[in-house]
């Protein structure tokens, strides 16, 4: 039998036979042709929507993290470039050589005026001795910054521009700050160091307008896994290390990263997007509870499920009524079949009787 004959003859014949058998069982008929397929379609639709919704939410979180990382990176880079412009001026280098505090103070005031969120600027020798300071650290003149994170990071591996991890301003203060450090060169020799200090509130102001909706938030982590910016209250004192948090421990590619993880305390499922801040080792993390992502989906899905359940209930009630009617019809058919057989048997017996005699004999 060819394919054409099989499709046009064999398949309809088999399907018709199955359909006839199923028709005699109304509950099974409706269950197989209506309820089960409808349940499968609903389950597959729900699975597809959840999968696509999660994927889209992770993509949105990653792009939001990228936007925030660019905002922080551009602000830090702008300060660093301005410091490099000041450090490249011959008059500024000469003032360091001459230890001219008045000329250096004027340059630092220009830096603070151009970037008002910088609250402290310092010029030091290559050994860390402060030549002059301006802003909130003006009293630091004559002190040493050799042990501070920013200075040590700029000197480590050869002098280079450096953005420090978050740290306390000093041992007595609880203020957290970040240093942007630029070496001052004359020829190939480093003759001084120009350091600007940002309070954490300044960095927070760069990302506070970026929203993660619904119910999400973002935070910034430095290259040591310490919180730089966090939307909720953090105890004052030493910066909080969060390197064991899953979005912080996750390695990143050039395009950032995204992941789903479970909160170990609340057992809630979270989605996260991460993006590195170029040239710093920092990263921005955006997080969002998974249930918030699917809330809109469930607001549509569950009412639809209730409507479908009610329709199925109606179908079941109709099928039960149909089943009862079919049962009556089948019983009536069986009774009629029995009567028909009895009539046929009686007729057969009557047809098989010998003919009756018409007289007593011939004359």
Tens digits of per-residue pLDDT, 164-187? 999 888 777 778 899 999 999 988
The pLDDT, as a whole number, for residue 21 is: 60
Structure pTM?
A: 0.73
β-pair type (227-229, 217-221) = antiparallel
> Per-domain residue ranges for the chain?
85-202
DSSP state of 138: G
**Percentage above 90 pLDDT, the chain:** 33
At 6, the pLDDT band (50, 70, 90 cuts) reads low
Residue 315 or 12, more confident:
315
Distance CA 1, CA 8 (A): 11
Nearest to 23 by CA among 33, 14, 13: 33
- Given a cut of 60, is residue 20 above it in pLDDT? no
- Given a cut of 50, is residue 363 above it in pLDDT? no
Min mean pLDDT across 3-17, 291-305, 308-322 is at 3-17
Nearest to 135 by CA among 161, 107, 162: 107
**Phi, then psi, of 132 in degrees rounded to 5:** -155, 150
Q: Are 65 and 211 in contact (CB under 8 A)?
A: no
Q: Are 267 and 61 in contact (CB under 8 A)?
A: no
At 44, the pLDDT band (50, 70, 90 cuts) reads confident
Give the pLDDT mean for 109-122: 86
Mean per-residue pLDDT over the chain, rounded: 83
The pLDDT, as a whole number, for residue 127 is: 93
Residue 333 or 152, more confident:
152
Distance CA 62, CA 218 (A): 11
CA distances from 321 to 156, 314, 318, 324, 333 (A): 86, 11, 5, 5, 18
CA geometry: angle 96, 130, 241, nearest 5 deg: 125
Architecture, CATH, for domain 85-202:
2-Layer Sandwich (3.30)
Q: Are 58 and 247 in contact (CB under 8 A)?
A: no
Give the pLDDT mean for 196-212: 88
- Given a cut of 80, is residue 228 above it in pLDDT? yes
The pLDDT, as a whole number, for residue 360 is: 47
At 58, the pLDDT band (50, 70, 90 cuts) reads very high
């Amino acid at each position: 039998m060819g394919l054409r004959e099989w499709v046009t003859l064999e398949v309809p014949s088999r399907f018709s036979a199955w359909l006839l058998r199923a028709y005699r069982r109304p509950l099974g008929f409706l269950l197989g042709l209506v309820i089960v397929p409808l349940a499968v379609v609903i389950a597959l639709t729900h699975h597809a929507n959840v999968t696509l919704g999660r994927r889209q939410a992770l993509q949105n979180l990653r792009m939001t993290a990228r936007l925030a990382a660019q905002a922080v990176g551009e602000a830090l880079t702008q300060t660093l470039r301005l410091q490099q412009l000041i450090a490249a001026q011959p008059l500024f280098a000469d003032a360091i050589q001459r230890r001219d505090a008045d000329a250096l103070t004027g340059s630092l005031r220009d830096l603070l005026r151009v970037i008002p969120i910088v609250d402290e600027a310092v010029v030091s020798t290559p050994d860390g001795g402060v030549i002059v300071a301006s802003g909130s650290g003006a009293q630091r003149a004559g002190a040493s910054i050799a042990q501070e994170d920013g200075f040590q990071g700029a000197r480590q591996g050869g002098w280079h521009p450096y953005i420090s991890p978050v740290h306390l301003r000093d041992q007595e203060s609880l203020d957290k700050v970040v240093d942007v450090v630029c070496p001052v060169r004359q020829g190939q020799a480093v003759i001084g160091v120009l350091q600007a200090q940002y309070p954490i509130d300044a960095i927070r102001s760069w990302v506070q307008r970026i929203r993660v909706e619904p119910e999400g938030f973002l935070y910034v982590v430095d290259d040591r896994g310490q919180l730089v910016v966090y939307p909720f209250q953090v105890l004052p004192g030493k910066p909080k290390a969060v390197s064991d948090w899953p979005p912080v421990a996750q390695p990143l590619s050039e395009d950032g990263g995204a992941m789903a993880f479970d909160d170990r305390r609340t057992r809630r499922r979270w989605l996260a997007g991460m993006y590195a801040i170029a040239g710093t080792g920092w990263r921005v993390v955006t997080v969002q509870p998974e249930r918030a992502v699917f809330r809109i989906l469930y607001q549509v899905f569950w009412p639809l499920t209730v409507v479908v359940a009610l329709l199925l209930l109606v179908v079941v009630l109709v099928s039960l009524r149909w089943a009862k009617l079919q049962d009556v019809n089948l019983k009536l058919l069986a009774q009629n079949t029995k009567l028909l057989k009895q009539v046929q048997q009686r007729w057969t017996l009557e047809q098989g009787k010998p003919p009756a005699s018409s007289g007593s004999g011939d004359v």
